Amino acid sequence: MPWPVLFIFAFLAGSVPFGFLIAMAKRIDIRKHGSGNIGATNVGRVLGRKWGFLCFGLDAAKGAIPVLVAGWSHSLLGVRWDALATDETWLWLGVAAAALLGHMYSPWVGFKGGKGVATGFGGLVAMWTPLTLPALAALIVWVIAVKALRMVSIASLLAAFAIPAAVAIRAALLDDRSAAFRAATPLLIVTGAIAILVVWKHRSNLARAIRGEERKVNV
């Protein structure tokens, strides 16, 4: 499957507003409740935890499926991250980014959307093997941060930055560090950019956390 087609497929898959659809199935416009966001956190807050988990799973899947399709189409699945060709690395990462942008700026809900945590996680963890372990490490960071801070937004920010940090640590542990970091450059740049984008989408949450007004969850 050509890369341009994969980018379009990824954006359209990412743009499916599952949180909005789940709430509408219960005759609730999620945009008018809670934080107004269509992501899993607000769905769980308004409709209940099980619906939030369902939304998270669906949002993660719409990020993972295009990445898996792209990896399968171009024989990238299972290739060691430091053995990937640079152009293929950028293109594969581009598919994950397209799904993330589709989620954040869905044309079906006025080019608005969720904050990208679930879809970004799904897309990156599906990049087996380059980013699977760093994404899983970020999930562990997220769980620990939620339990410690009880703020999903701050946990999400920490998890987002944990991914490029994990990639850098992995490269630093290899024997040929110089070659490892050259191979990891696309991974570091794109995951770092995604982390910054997640911060941008969470800027209001961060401001409330600084003022001590951010909502906390029961864990």
Say what the pLDDT of residue 180 is: 87
Say what the pLDDT of residue 73 is: 96
A 10 A CB-CB count for 169 gives: 12
Residue 108 has pLDDT above 80, yes or no: yes
Element (H, E) at 196: helix 177-201
Q: How far apart are CA 9 and CA 12, in angstroms?
A: 5
Residue 86 has pLDDT above 90, yes or no: no
- HEC letters along 36-88: CCCCHHHHHHHHCHHHHHHHHHHHHHHHHHHHHHHHHHCCCCCCCHHHCCHHH
Alpha carbon dihedral 131, 204, 20, 192, in 10-degree steps, equals: -10
Q: How far apart are CA 196 and CA 161, in angstroms?
A: 8
Say what the pLDDT of residue 63 is: 98
pLDDT digits (tens, 9 = 90+) for 140-188: 999 999 999 999 999 999 999 999 999 999 999 988 888 889 889 999 9
- Measured N-to-C along each axis, helices 86-104 and 3-15 cross at an angle, to the nearest 10 degrees, of 30
Residue 104 has pLDDT above 90, yes or no: yes
C-alpha neighbours within 13 Å on the C-beta side of residue 203: 4
Give Rg (Cα) of the chain: 17
Residue 72 has pLDDT above 80, yes or no: yes
Q: Tell me what the pLDDT averaged over the chain comes to.
A: 93
The band of 118, judged by pLDDT with boundaries at 50, 70 and 90, is very high
- Confidence (pTM): 0.92
Residue 46 has pLDDT above 90, yes or no: yes
∠ CA 70-76-77 to the nearest 5 degrees?
Answer: 90
Residue 81 has pLDDT above 90, yes or no: no
